[in-house]
Structure 1
Amino acid sequence: METRSSFATTRRTELFDALVDLFVAEGFAHLTLDTIAARLKCSKSTLYTLAGSKEQLVTAATVHFFKRATERVETTVADIAGPRERIAAYLTAVGEALAVTSDAFMADLDAFAPAREVYERNTRIAARRVQELITDGVATGDFREVHAAFAADLVATMMVRIQQGGVRAATGLDDAHAYRELASILTAGVSA
């Protein structure tokens, strides 16, 4: 039998999932708390149990989005054996995780400093993860000797350009395709 505490946790997770799905599909800047509550079929007081204001709700939902995305990405990479394949799988999975986001969500994310900081923090974490994958590949001899921190910084820079729409504007590539190209170029560049 489910306890009240586990029910509350389950309900909270369901609400955050629904909130993230709403924001990802439509953005969040134009939504009021009343609209969000109506769309999620809950009360405003229920939303206030998640966060104390719309701004805090947006930030918490952004954290939830990236937590879910990170879990999916890491699950994908866990089953991959070779360093080259792991980097390609990692960056491709990041692209796929972001591919579900609407232009409105990405624009709102960029315009709202607390949510943008969550994205930037996750970009730094992803860059460190790529650095680890490169370092592992160099250690096993699968990659040539490269400066892993530089390669990770290059990846982070491109991730930010992808997020901000610069790559799409310059190349016409959507985010998922841009991540696949980044993976291809990076893995070819570090291969032994």
Structure 2
Amino acid sequence: MANRPSFGTRRRGELFDSLLTLFLAEGFAHLTLDDIAARLRCSKGTLYTLAGSKEQLVHAVAVHFFRRATDDVEQEVARAGDARSRITAYLAAVGAALEVASDRFMTDLDAFAPARAVYEQNTSIAARRVSELIAEGVASHEFRDVHAAFAADLAAVMMVRIQQGIVRSTTGLDDAAAYRELAAILTSGIDA
């Protein structure tokens, strides 16, 4: 029984999941704490047990979103076989994680510096992970002898452009589609 989460821990997780579902669908900038409490059918006091202000709550939900997304992405990578499949699985899973986010959520995320910083940090982590996956593929001779750091930097530049909305504005691709295209181009270009 010691390994089971307490009711309070479970309830916190449920609240964060509900907040995330609400924010992903509708964004968050226009919502007040009263709106959020009414939508989640809880009290503002309950929300204050999660964070001390709306801004802190939004930040905590952004962290929750990216933690959950990272877990989902790594599960997909673990199921993949060769290096190409792992990179494709990684970038496709990142795209899938972002696919559930409405345009309004992405706009609000970009406009709110603490949440944008969480996205930027996760983009940086993702770029390092792509670098590791490329290096593994080069070491196993699945990819030609590319400079793994350069290939990863190339991916990182595109990941930042995706995160900043530049790819969306110049190509019309949403973040999820852009990650799928990046996976296709990256893995085809480094095949052995």
1:103-144 Cα shifts (integer Å, max 9, x gaps): 111111111111111001100111111011001001000111
Report the secondary structure of 2:6's partner residue: helix
AA matched with 2:43: S
Give TM-score, length-normalised by structure 1.
0.95
RMSD: 1.7
Greater Cα offset, 171-180 or 57-66: 171-180
Unaligned runs of 5+ in 2: none
Corresponding residue for residue 112 of structure 2: 112
Report the secondary structure of 1:52's partner residue: coil
Identity in percent = 72
Question: Partners in 1 of 2:132 and 2:53 — Cα distance?
Answer: 37
Unaligned runs of 5+ in 1: none
CA contact (8 A) 1:87 1:130 kept: yes
AA matched with 1:91: L
CA contact (8 A) 2:120 2:163 kept: no
Matched pairs, number: 192
Corresponding residue for residue 48 of structure 1: 48
Call closer, same or farther: CA 1:4–1:175 in 2, change over 3 Å: closer
1:133-168 Cα shifts (integer Å, max 9, x gaps): 001001000111122222222212212222222212
1:65-97 Cα shifts (integer Å, max 9, x gaps): 001111111111101110001101110010010
Q: What aligned pairs does 1:115-130 form with structure 2 within 5 A after superposition?
A: 115-130=115-130
Shift of 1:179: 1.1
Q: What aligned pairs does 1:53-92 form with structure 2 within 5 A after superposition?
A: 53-92=53-92
Answer yes or no: is 1:162 the counterpart of 2:165: no
Answer yes or no: is 1:7 the counterpart of 2:7: yes
Report the secondary structure of 2:31's partner residue: coil
Structure 1 runs (4+) greater than 4 angstroms displaced: 1-5
Question: Partners in 1 of 2:16 and 2:86 — Cα distance?
Answer: 30
